């Protein structure tokens, strides 16, 4: 059996809040493809950027607790996190626990006091929703299961920072043909191309949306988001496909803010890549939460005759 | 000859004279501009060690000033004064007063990690920026930045309940930074969503969230983290000679 057939699922806090539609569309796509998700029991926040800024080792502990439950209690071999922040932090904790004695000691100490087994590096493989679909189903099988096509839809694939940087926490990337690239990521491009989308040549795939300071330094974030939106429009995109709830809500929020504060209007819409795949797999836009997005993706899909 | 690269010199260090006679020669036209010589006497020799003692700053000593960090920096592209390479140089040479000129923008590092990706010496410049911003705050050179206030609000919630609830964070952060919650762009965003799903408005922003998400069996973890964080705070203050 494929090792990604059934994985431990770590949705994270954002997917229970602003990223609700990413959660429902990820589950819907999994269901349509026959992939199983087993949610991590009693999971906690991964620590995000914020706890890391207060103390990096507390973030390492928080992420390790999630992995400890998945690996030692649920006996899972693979944990899947659709949120770039969660995915990044689990990967970072894995790296720190494998390479840094001080991190190991701190995590062991807090884990013991918290009353659970300490996570041992190497017990679990952390993957992103992109890996899950790309390697769990593969392009040929995905193609076989398509119910419709995204034909005529021009897509800019936006991966953000946390999916590829820094390189050292992603040892499986940049490993030649078939592996993901940290400088030119392509997994989302590959999947959406199979679904019939026309991927535009988008130079800001891994540019920063300013998510870390989205509210504390809004002017900077608005400018960074505007760069991304305008570059996508210049590249001819109708849609920016996203794979992270922080990027997605950042793009949506600052698109509105740029309009209100700077008077700069952009038309490009944001949709989670799972929403786009879901549509091609015949899932109804409502089940994929398309109506929950701030930018009106539904109108665009209708206009293109896709949904 | 006149000085052509005046833009590279701080205006206050340029001395120009309308009428200047040196040794009986009138040099008022071409030779009237001088650069004031600079003598640095107030080295802070402890600065590098102190910043290296804070989380993220550990590897500052590896830097060999290639400038890959500044070259790849997201914030530098928006503001050329945001210069990690230069700040690392100032910290390592102990030039505190020079560093303090930029004290109000260092916290703006957006943690995109392009510098960490590019750095050939594994300095982890992103961590050094965080350590430097903390150092400035702990030493009292700057008030806590909005970013720090946000991080503290977020972390307090995670430690208390194991999870965050976005609406609560936004409300508390805006209250702590004395900003009105009803900013017109936030209101506009909620309106656009509400047009399509009025009953879920509360869900999207968490404004109507009555129940607070919590991790089950969290109390012991919360206590253990709190104990560790307090210990680290004391350790950091000691490393910076603050009592």
Give A-chain residues touching B108 at CB under 8 angstroms.
213, 217, 220
Alpha carbon of B54: minimum distance to chain A alpha carbons (Å): 9
Instruction: Please give the pLDDT value at position B83.
Output: 97
Nearest Cβ partner of A294 from B170, B192, B223?
B192
Assign A6 a pLDDT band (cuts: 50, 70, 90).
Answer: very high
Chain segment A62-80, per-residue pLDDT in tens? 999 999 999 999 999 999 9
Give yes or no for A213 touching B (CB within 8 A). Answer: yes
Indicate the SS3 state at residue B111: coil
Rounded to the nearest integer, the mean pLDDT of chain A is 96
Interface test mutation site (partner A, options B57, B59, B74, B142, max chain A beta carbons within 10 A): B74
Give B-chain residues touching A18 at CB under 8 angstroms.
166, 204-206
**What are residue B208's phi and psi, to 5 degrees?**
-95, 5
Give the chain B residue nearest A221 (alpha carbons): B110
Alpha carbon of B146: minimum distance to chain A alpha carbons (Å): 5
Instruction: Please give the pLDDT value at position B241.
Output: 93
Claim to verify: residue A209 and residue A239 sit in the same structural domain: yes
Claim to verify: residue A117 and residue A231 sit in the same structural domain: no
| Inter-chain residue contact B114 with A113, CB threshold 8 Å | no
Structural domain includes residue B172: yes
Assign B201 a pLDDT band (cuts: 50, 70, 90).
Answer: very low
Instruction: Please give the pLDDT value at position A224.
Output: 97
Claim to verify: residue B134 and residue B53 sit in the same structural domain: yes
**Residue B4 in this model has a pLDDT that exceeds 80:** no
Q: Which two tokens stand for residue A211?
A: 């998510």
Instruction: Please give the pLDDT value at position A155.
Output: 98
Instruction: Please give the pLDDT value at position B208.
Output: 43
Chain segment A103-125, per-residue pLDDT in tens? 999 999 999 999 999 999 999 99
Boundaries of domain holding B21: 6-35
Instruction: Please give the pLDDT value at position B191.
Output: 81
Q: Which two tokens stand for residue B95?
A: 């030039």
Structural domain includes residue A140: no
**Residue B197 in this model has a pLDDT that exceeds 70:** no
Instruction: Please give the pLDDT value at position A286.
Output: 93
Nearest Cβ partner of B113 from A44, A166, A292?
A166
Claim to verify: residue B132 and residue B183 sit in the same structural domain: no
Structural domain includes residue A133: no
DSSP for A53-119 reads HH-HHHHHHHHHHHHHIIIIIS--SEEEE-SHHHHHHHHHHHHHHHH-HHHHHHHHHHHHHHTSPPP
> Which DSSP letter does residue A209 get?
-
Give B-chain residues touching A161 at CB under 8 angstroms.
111-114
Alpha carbons A227 and B158: distance in angstroms, whole number: 32
Interface test mutation site (partner A, options B112, B125, B129, B207, max chain A beta carbons within 10 A): B112
Claim to verify: residue A21 and residue A101 sit in the same structural domain: yes
Q: How many residues does chain B have?
A: 243
**Residue A252 in this model has a pLDDT that exceeds 60:** yes
DSSP for A145-171 reads H-SS--TT-EEEE---STTT-SGGG-T
Number of structural domains found in chain A: 2
A190: left (phi over 0), alpha (psi -120 to 50) or beta: alpha
Q: What average pLDDT does the segment B141-148 reach?
A: 96
Interface of A with B in 90-119 (CB under 8 A): 106, 109-110, 113-116
Structural domain includes residue B237: no
Alpha carbon of A72: minimum distance to chain B alpha carbons (Å): 16
Interface of A with B in 39-78 (CB under 8 A): 42-45, 47-51, 53-58, 61-62, 65
Alpha carbon of A1: minimum distance to chain B alpha carbons (Å): 32
**Residue B146 in this model has a pLDDT that exceeds 60:** yes
Instruction: Please give the pLDDT value at position B11.
Output: 82
Q: Say if CB A288 and CB A275 are below 8 A apart.
A: yes
Number of structural domains found in chain B: 3
Claim to verify: residue B159 and residue B200 sit in the same structural domain: yes
Assign B34 a pLDDT band (cuts: 50, 70, 90).
Answer: confident
Give A-chain residues touching B149 at CB under 8 angstroms.
216
Claim to verify: residue B169 and residue B208 sit in the same structural domain: yes
Give yes or no for A185 touching B (CB within 8 A). Answer: no
Q: What average pLDDT does the segment B30-35 reach?
A: 76
Chain segment A187-233, per-residue pLDDT in tens? 999 999 999 999 999 999 999 999 999 999 999 999 999 999 999 99
Claim to verify: residue A153 and residue A277 sit in the same structural domain: yes
Nearest Cβ partner of A208 from B112, B147, B228?
B112
Structural domain includes residue A74: yes
ipTM of the complex: 0.94
Claim to verify: residue B128 and residue B179 sit in the same structural domain: no
| Inter-chain residue contact A51 with B232, CB threshold 8 Å | no
Alpha carbons B70 and B47: distance in angstroms, whole number: 21
Structural domain includes residue A141: no
Assign B32 a pLDDT band (cuts: 50, 70, 90).
Answer: confident
Claim to verify: residue B152 and residue B217 sit in the same structural domain: yes
Instruction: Please give the pLDDT value at position B2.
Output: 59
| Inter-chain residue contact B227 with A113, CB threshold 8 Å | yes
Claim to verify: residue A87 and residue A26 sit in the same structural domain: yes
Claim to verify: residue A51 and residue A114 sit in the same structural domain: yes
| Inter-chain residue contact A65 with B173, CB threshold 8 Å | no
| Inter-chain residue contact A256 with B184, CB threshold 8 Å | no
Give the chain A residue nearest B228 (alpha carbons): A110
Claim to verify: residue A78 and residue A214 sit in the same structural domain: no
Number of neighbours of residue B191 by Cβ within 10 angstroms: 12
| Inter-chain residue contact A215 with B192, CB threshold 8 Å | no
Structural domain includes residue A89: yes
Claim to verify: residue A117 and residue A170 sit in the same structural domain: no
Boundaries of domain holding A220: 148-303
Lowest mean pLDDT among A134-143, B65-74, B195-204: B195-204
Give A-chain residues touching B162 at CB under 8 angstroms.
44-45
Give the chain B residue nearest A11 (alpha carbons): B163
Instruction: Please give the pLDDT value at position A202.
Output: 97
Tell how far CA A71 is from the center of its chain: 21
Instruction: Please give the pLDDT value at position A272.
Output: 98
Q: What average pLDDT does the segment A132-144 reach?
A: 96
Nearest Cβ partner of A51 from B108, B154, B186?
B154
| Inter-chain residue contact B147 with A216, CB threshold 8 Å | yes
Instruction: Please give the pLDDT value at position B171.
Output: 87
| Inter-chain residue contact A216 with B162, CB threshold 8 Å | no
My answer on whether omega of the bond before A166 falls inside 30° of 0, hence cis, is yes
Give A-chain residues touching B217 at CB under 8 angstroms.
42, 115
Residues 6+ apart with CB under 8 A from A215: B146, B150, B170, B173, B174
Give A-chain residues touching B227 at CB under 8 angstroms.
113
Alpha carbons B100 and B143: distance in angstroms, whole number: 13
Chain segment A177-188, per-residue pLDDT in tens? 999 999 999 999
Instruction: Please give the pLDDT value at position A163.
Output: 97
Cα-Cα-Cα-Cα torsion A133, A137, A143, A146, nearest 10 degrees, comes to -70
Structural domain includes residue B181: yes
Structural domain includes residue B241: no
Structural domain includes residue A10: yes
Nearest Cβ partner of B224 from A49, A110, A259?
A110
Instruction: Please give the pLDDT value at position B126.
Output: 98
Q: What average pLDDT does the segment B166-172 reach?
A: 86
Chain segment B208-232, per-residue pLDDT in tens? 455 678 899 999 999 999 999 999 9
Give A-chain residues touching B114 at CB under 8 angstroms.
161, 165, 208
């Amino acid at each position: 059996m494929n090792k990604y057939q059934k994985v431990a699922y770590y949705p994270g806090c954002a997917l229970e809040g602003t990223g609700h539609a990413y959660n429902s569309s990820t589950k819907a796509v999994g269901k349509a493809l026959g992939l199983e998700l087993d949610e991590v029991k009693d999971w906690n926040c991964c620590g995000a950027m914020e706890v890391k800024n207060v103390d990096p080792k507390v973030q390492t502990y928080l992420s390790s607790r999630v992995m400890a439950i998945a690996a030692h209690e649920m006996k899972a071999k693979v944990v899947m996190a659709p949120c770039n922040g969660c995915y990044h932090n689990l990967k970072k904790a894995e790296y720190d626990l494998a390479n840094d004695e001080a991190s190991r000691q701190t995590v062991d100490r807090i884990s013991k006091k918290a009353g659970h087994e300490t996570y041992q590096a190497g017990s679990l493989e952390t993957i992103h929703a992109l890996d899950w679909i790309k390697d769990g189903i593969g392009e040929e099988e995905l193609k076989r299961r398509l119910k419709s096509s995204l034909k005529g839809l021009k897509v800019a694939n936006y991966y953000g920072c946390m999916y590829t940087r820094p390189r050292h926490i992603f040892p499986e990337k940049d490993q030649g043909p078939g592996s993901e690239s940290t400088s030119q990521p392509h997994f989302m491009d590959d999947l959406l191309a199979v679904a019939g989308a026309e991927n535009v040549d988008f130079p800001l795939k891994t540019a920063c949306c300013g998510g870390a300071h989205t509210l504390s330094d809004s002017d900077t974030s608005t400018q960074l988001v505007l760069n991304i939106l305008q570059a996508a429009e210049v590249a001819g995109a109708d849609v920016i496909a996203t794979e992270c709830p922080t990027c997605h809500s950042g793009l949506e929020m600052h698109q509105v803010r740029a309009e209100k504060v700077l008077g700069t209007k952009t038309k490009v819409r944001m949709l989670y890549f799972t929403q786009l795949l879901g549509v091609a797999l015949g899932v109804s836009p409502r089940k994929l939460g398309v109506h929950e997005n701030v930018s009106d993706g539904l109108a665009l899909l209708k206009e293109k005759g896709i949904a | 000859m006149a000085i052509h690269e005046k833009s590279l010199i701080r205006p206050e260090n340029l001395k120009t004279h309308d009428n200047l006679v040196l040794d009986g020669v009138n040099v008022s036209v071409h030779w009237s501009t001088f650069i004031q010589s600079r003598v640095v006497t107030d080295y802070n020799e402890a600065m590098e060690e102190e910043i290296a003692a804070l989380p993220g700053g550990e590897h500052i000593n590896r830097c060999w000033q290639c400038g890959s960090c500044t070259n790849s920096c997201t914030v530098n592209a928006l503001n050329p004064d945001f210069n990690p390479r230069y700040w690392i140089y100032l910290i390592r040479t102990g030039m505190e007063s020079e560093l303090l000129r930029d004290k109000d923008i260092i916290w703006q590092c957006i943690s995109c990690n392009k510098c960490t990706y590019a750095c050939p010496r594994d300095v982890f410049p992103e961590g050094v920026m965080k350590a430097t911003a903390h150092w400035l705050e702990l030493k009292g050179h700057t008030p806590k930045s909005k970013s720090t206030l946000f991080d503290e609000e977020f972390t307090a919630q995670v430690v208390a309940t194991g999870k965050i609830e976005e609406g609560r964070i936004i409300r508390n952060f805006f209250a702590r930074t004395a900003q009105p919650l009803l900013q017109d762009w936030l209101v506009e965003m909620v309106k656009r969503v509400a047009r399509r799903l009025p009953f879920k408005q509360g869900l999207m922003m968490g404004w109507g969230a009555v129940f607070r998400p919590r991790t089950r069996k969290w109390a012991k973890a919360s206590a253990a983290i709190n104990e560790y964080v307090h210990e680290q705070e004391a350790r950091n203050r000691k490393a910076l000679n603050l009592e």
